[in-house]
Amino acid sequence: MDKADLGSAKARLVEIYHPIKRMQYSYSFVVLLFGVAAFAGLFGALLGVGGGIFLVPAMVLALHLPMKIAVAASVVSVIATSNAGGSSYVDQRITNLRLGMFLEVFTTVGALSGSALALYLHDWVMQLIFAVMLGYMAYAAFSTRNLDDQRIASGGFAKAKADRFARWLKLRGDYYDDAAKKEVQYVVNGVPLGAAIAYLAGIASGLLGVGGGVLKVSAMNRYMNVPMKAAVGTSKLMIGVTAAVSSILFFLAGLIHFTIVGPVAVGTTAGATAGTFVMNRLHSAWLKSLFSILMLYLAYEMLAKGLDLGFHLHLPAFA
Amino acid sequence: MSNEEDSSGQSTADNSGQLNVYADVYKVLLGGMMVSTALFAAAIVRALLQPQFVPLTPEWIKQHYHWRVIAEGLLAFDPTVIMLIATVLLILTPIARVVVSAYAFAVDDDRKFLFVTLSVLAVIMLTAVLGLFGLK
- If you average pLDDT over residues B27-51, what whole number do you get? 89
Of A234-243, B9-18, B106-115, which range is least confident? B9-18
* pLDDT value of position A78: 87
> CA nearest B61 in A: which residue?
A254
Q: Which residue has the higher pLDDT, A224 or A137?
A: A224
For A210, list phi and psi in degrees, rounded to 5: -115, 160
> CA nearest A21 in B: which residue?
B56
* pLDDT value of position B51: 77
For the cut 50, the answer to whether the pLDDT of residue B9 exceeds it is no
Which ranges in chain A belong to alpha helices (H)?
A: 3-17, 27-47, 52-57, 67-91, 97-118, 123-143, 147-154, 156-159, 164-169, 191-208, 213-218, 228-252, 258-279, 284-311
CA B135 to chain centre: 22
For the segment B53-98, what is each residue's pLDDT rounded down to a tens digit? 888 788 888 888 889 999 998 999 999 999 999 999 999 999 998 9
For the cut 60, the answer to whether the pLDDT of residue A98 exceeds it is yes
Q: Do B120 and A104 touch (CB under 8 A)?
A: yes
What ipTM, to 2 d.p.? 0.82
A155: left (phi over 0), alpha (psi -120 to 50) or beta: left
For the cut 70, the answer to whether the pLDDT of residue B2 exceeds it is no
For the segment A231-282, what is each residue's pLDDT rounded down to a tens digit? 888 988 888 887 887 788 888 888 899 889 999 999 999 998 898 888 878 7
The distance of B73 to chain A (nearest Cα, Å) reads 14
Q: Report chain B's mean pLDDT, rounded to a whole number.
A: 81
**Position A90: which residue type?**
V
* pLDDT value of position B31: 87
- Nearest-by-Cβ selection for B53 from A24, A98, A261: A24
The distance of A300 to chain B (nearest Cα, Å) reads 27
A168 vs B contacts (CB less than 8 Å):
112
Q: Do A97 and B25 touch (CB under 8 A)?
A: yes
Q: Do B33 and A65 touch (CB under 8 A)?
A: no
Q: Do A84 and B33 touch (CB under 8 A)?
A: yes
Q: Report chain A's mean pLDDT, rounded to a whole number.
A: 80
- Nearest-by-Cβ selection for A87 from B29, B116, B127: B29
The distance of B134 to chain A (nearest Cα, Å) reads 10
- If you average pLDDT over residues A61-86, what whole number do you get? 86
Q: Do A257 and B61 touch (CB under 8 A)?
A: yes
What residues form DSSP beta bridges with B96?
Answer: none
For the segment A103-130, what is each residue's pLDDT rounded down to a tens digit? 999 988 887 787 677 777 776 787 788 7
Q: Do A255 and B84 touch (CB under 8 A)?
A: no
* pLDDT value of position A3: 43
The distance of A29 to chain B (nearest Cα, Å) reads 10
Separation of alpha carbons B28 and B97, rounded Å: 6
Percent residues over pLDDT 70 in chain A: 87
- If you average pLDDT over residues A302-307, what whole number do you get? 84
For the cut 50, the answer to whether the pLDDT of residue A17 exceeds it is no
The distance of A172 to chain B (nearest Cα, Å) reads 9
Q: How many CB pairs under 8 A join A and B?
A: 199
Q: B3, B8, B25: best mutation site toward chain A, by most A Cβ within 10 Å?
A: B25
pLDDT band at residue B38 under the 50/70/90 scheme: very high
Q: Do A259 and B79 touch (CB under 8 A)?
A: yes
Q: Report the 3 state secondary structure along A16-71.
A: HHCCCCEEECCHHHHHHHHHHHHHHHHHHHHHCCCCHHHHHHHHHHHCCCCHHHHH
* DSSP per-residue string spanning B59-124: HHHHTT-SHHHHHHHHHTT-HHHHHHHHHHHHHHHHHHHHHHHHHHHHHTT-HHHHHHHHHHHHHH
- If you average pLDDT over residues A203-218, what whole number do you get? 69
* pLDDT value of position B43: 93
